[in-house]
């Protein structure tokens, strides 16, 4: 006999999406939640935006387990998308906004219910006409989304972590709610980060690193999330100083730029930054030695394999 899944209780174990949302809702609604160089949103505003977006996704066919592709730059809208997908019980597939054919290919392969793009960045790219009804319609009216996330068990699919796709269509590693939670938790515990430690999100949110150790870690810690919308060392330095950011993860070229900026302009703007793990390419020993000298209060080290771990 076939039974209808009850979406008022998780199938098994903990409901990590519900826990994440509950943490957010318990914060001071007037406190700063997310910042960009030219924009800030409070906790209350982030909750309202996410519920509105969730209502739109539901109206456009997203159901529990639906694959939702998000191809955005580092902006507040990505955070809203992430939380809205969690509210709907969907499966996040985050891709670089410039991924082009990878977006359309994966939309077909994964039978994505919705593809969210930043229209002014992709322009009139005829490639995206192939998405048809899958393409998210941001101006469409819909009822507000649920107050709490659709219940999902910890062993259910939560995230498809895609490789870069430099040699073909990206490969996607499957993560359930438990493995997604654990990846972020391990980093937060290792660095002993708390709600008092603002997180600087420098890596592109289309990749695993920024999602796990930027967006999700800020939400896990209840700390301020600071997004670098387009990488420039000068912008990052200003944001670190303005919000007293403590932690960031970024690819090796970003570390090169950061060290060069500190060597040229001094460490004043970078003083609060204590941790800078670097991923995506080997970190030369000479660069580490330069970093130790230019950023004496900051720990720099390398790791790899985030998507597949």
Span 190-243, pLDDT tens digits: 999 999 999 999 999 999 999 999 999 999 999 999 999 999 999 999 999 999
Q: In this predicted structure, what is the pLDDT of residue 119?
A: 65
Q: Do residues 176 and 224 share a domain?
A: no
Q: Do residues 237 and 267 share a domain?
A: yes
Residues of the chain with pLDDT > 70, as a percent, come to 90
Q: Which two tokens stand for residue 62?
A: 């997203």
Q: What is the CATH number of the domain that holds 150?
A: 3.40.50.980
What are the tens digits of pLDDT across the range 17-36?
999 999 999 999 999 999 99
Q: Do residues 127 and 168 share a domain?
A: yes
Q: Do residues 260 and 286 share a domain?
A: yes
Domain containing 268 equals 208-303
Domain boundary among 160, 191, 222: 191
Q: Is residue 39 part of a domain?
A: no
Q: How far apart are CA 214 and CA 220, in angstroms?
A: 10
Query: How far is residue 45 from each of residues 27, 35, 50, measured CA to CA in Å?
Result: 12, 12, 8
Q: Which two tokens stand for residue 56?
A: 């739109």
Q: Is residue 202 part of a domain?
A: no
Q: Do residues 86 and 222 share a domain?
A: no
Per-residue pLDDT averaged across 73-83, rounded?
98
Average pLDDT of the residues of the chain: 90
DSSP 135: B
Q: Residue 230, exposed/middle/buried by CB under 10 A (0-12, 13-18, 19+)? A: exposed
Per-residue pLDDT averaged across 49-75, rounded?
97
């Amino acid at each position: 006999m076939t039974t209808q899944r009850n979406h008022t209780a998780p199938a098994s174990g903990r409901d990590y999406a519900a826990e994440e949302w509950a943490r957010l809702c318990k914060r001071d609604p007037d406190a700063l939640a997310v910042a960009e160089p030219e924009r800030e949103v409070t906790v209350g505003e982030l909750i309202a935006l996410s519920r509105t977006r969730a209502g739109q996704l539901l109206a456009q066919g997203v159901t529990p387990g639906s694959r939702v592709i998000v191809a955005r730059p580092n902006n507040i809208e990505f955070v809203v998308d992430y939380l809205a997908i969690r509210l709907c019980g969907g499966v996040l597939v985050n891709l670089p906004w410039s991924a082009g054919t990878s977006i359309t290919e994966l939309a077909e392969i994964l039978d994505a219910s919705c593809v969210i793009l930043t229209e002014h960045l992709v322009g009139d790219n005829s490639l995206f006409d192939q998405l048809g009804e899958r393409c998210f319609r941001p101006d469409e009216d819909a009822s507000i989304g649920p107050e709490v996330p659709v219940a999902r068990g910890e062993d259910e699919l939560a995230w498809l972590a895609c490789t870069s796709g430099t040699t073909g269509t990206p490969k996607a590693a499957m993560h359930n709610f438990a493995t997604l939670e654990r990846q972020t938790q391990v980093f937060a515990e290792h660095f002993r980060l708390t709600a008092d430690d603002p997180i600087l999100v420098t890596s592109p949110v289309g990749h695993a690193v920024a999602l796990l150790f930027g967006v999700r870690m800020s939400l896990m810690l209840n700390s301020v999330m600071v997004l670098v919308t387009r990488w420039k060392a000068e912008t990052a330095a200003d944001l670190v100083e303005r919000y007293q950011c403590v932690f960031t993860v970024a690819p090796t070229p970003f570390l090169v730029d950061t060290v060069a900026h500190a060597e040229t302009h001094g460490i004043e703007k970078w003083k609060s930054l204590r941790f800078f793990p670097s991923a995506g390419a080997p970190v030369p020993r000479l660069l580490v030695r330069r970093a130790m000298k230019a950023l004496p209060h900051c720990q720099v080290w390398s790791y790899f394999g985030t998507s597949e771990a």
